[in-house]
Amino acid sequence: MSAAKPPAAARQRLVSVILDEESIGRSNPDVEHERKVAIYDLLEQNSFAPVGHDGGPYALHLSIDANRLVFDIRREDGTPVVAHLLSLTPLRRIVKDYYMICDSYYQAIRTATPDKIEAIDMGRRGIHNEGSRILMERLKGKVTIDIDTARRLFTLLCVLHWKG
């Protein structure tokens, strides 16, 4: 008698995310905090299914190679599943905009009024949502993810892209 397969939701998820240390530039405490929170939240709840593969759960190794984002997807035990290389060009402007507004936000939370902080944060969330939608579109046909997973992955992409 063979062991029953776990339900699809238990298989179609990430259980590990590793950021390539060579890809990560020097970052400030705010960026490090965002990275830790994004990884924690991503591992707590996500929907991640490489198209045409149902052998998860998965481990994701993220890195940047030249001008490409590398999604190296493996099974939980490290067995390679697939690697996708995505051009960063479509994401470059949105990542730059996101960093600019994050800098404004982090400055504002130290000195600005609550109304000003809220206005900047609304703009920050809007840019973050746009980046998440672009990332989902870039992964279409490769990896099926939900919007919350896309948001956390976009945060990690920004951390990788940050060069101090």
Q: What is the pLDDT of residues 23-60, one digit of tens each?
A: 666 667 777 787 888 899 999 999 999 999 988 899 99
**pLDDT at residue number 159:** 80
Q: What angle do CA 62, 65, 69 make, to 5 degrees?
A: 45
pLDDT at 155 over 60: yes
3 state SS of 52: coil
**CA 78 to the chain's CA centroid:** 20
**pLDDT at residue number 25:** 62
Give me the half-sphere count of Cα atoms (radius 13 Å) on the Cβ side of residue 51.
Answer: 7
**CA 86 to the chain's CA centroid:** 13
Tell me which residue of 24, 22, 26 sits closest to 161, measured CA to CA: 24
- pLDDT grade for 117, boundaries at 50, 70 and 90: very high
How many whole angstroms separate alpha carbon 110 and alpha carbon 98?
A: 19
The pTM for the full model equals 0.86
**pLDDT at residue number 23:** 67
How many whole angstroms separate alpha carbon 80 and alpha carbon 78?
A: 6
Residue range 93-97: average pLDDT?
Answer: 93
Strand partners, 17: 60
**pLDDT at residue number 31:** 72
